[in-house]
Structures are given as structure tokens and as C-alpha cells.
């Protein structure tokens, strides 16, 4: 399965131990057949199960 995007806020929230947090990933969407696959991930996203790669940064002028 390929990767999916997650905001830094979503990632940090998923690491909090005081909340139950789930990620519902909908993929392989077929609009004509009206079908899709669903994968539910219970967090936290651990290094044992996932490889998290930063892919964008917001840059500010000084």
C-alpha cells in the first residue's frame, strides 16, 4: 500500500496519550462502481509500524 498525507497537527494529536485517535483512510475509490477500500489505523503512529517522512515546509521571511 502506498503512503498517505497527514498534517503535522494530525501527527502530533495522534501521539497524545490522553485521546483515542483513529485515522480512517479511504483509497482505491471507483466513482463509477461506487466502491472504495477502507483502512482504519489506531494511533499513536509508532516507528515500529510506520515510516513518517516530512514532505513540505512552510517558510516565512524574517
State the DSSP string of 18-57.
Answer: TS--EEEEEEEEETTTTEEEEEEEESP--TTT--------
What pTM was estimated for this model as a whole? 0.69
pLDDT in tens, 24-39: 999 999 999 999 999 9
| Mean pLDDT score of the chain | 87
The C-alpha cell that represents 54 in the structure block: 516530512
**Can you give the pLDDT at residue 27?**
93
pLDDT for 3-62, tens place per residue? 888 888 888 888 876 778 888 999 999 999 999 999 998 888 778 888 888 888 888 999
18-25 contacts: CB < 8 A, separation 24 or more?
none
| Contact present, 2 and 25 (Cβ < 8 Å) | no
Amino acid at each position: 500500500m502506498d503512503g498517505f498525507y497527514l498534517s503535522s497537527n494530525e501527527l502530533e494529536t495522534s501521539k497524545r496519550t490522553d485521546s483515542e485517535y483513529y485515522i480512517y483512510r479511504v483509497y482505491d475509490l471507483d466513482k463509477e462502481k461506487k466502491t472504495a477500500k477502507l483502512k482504519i489505523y489506531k494511533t499513536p503512529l509508532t516507528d515500529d509500524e510506520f515510516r513518517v517522512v516530512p514532505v513540505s515546509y512552510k517558510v516565512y521571511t524574517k
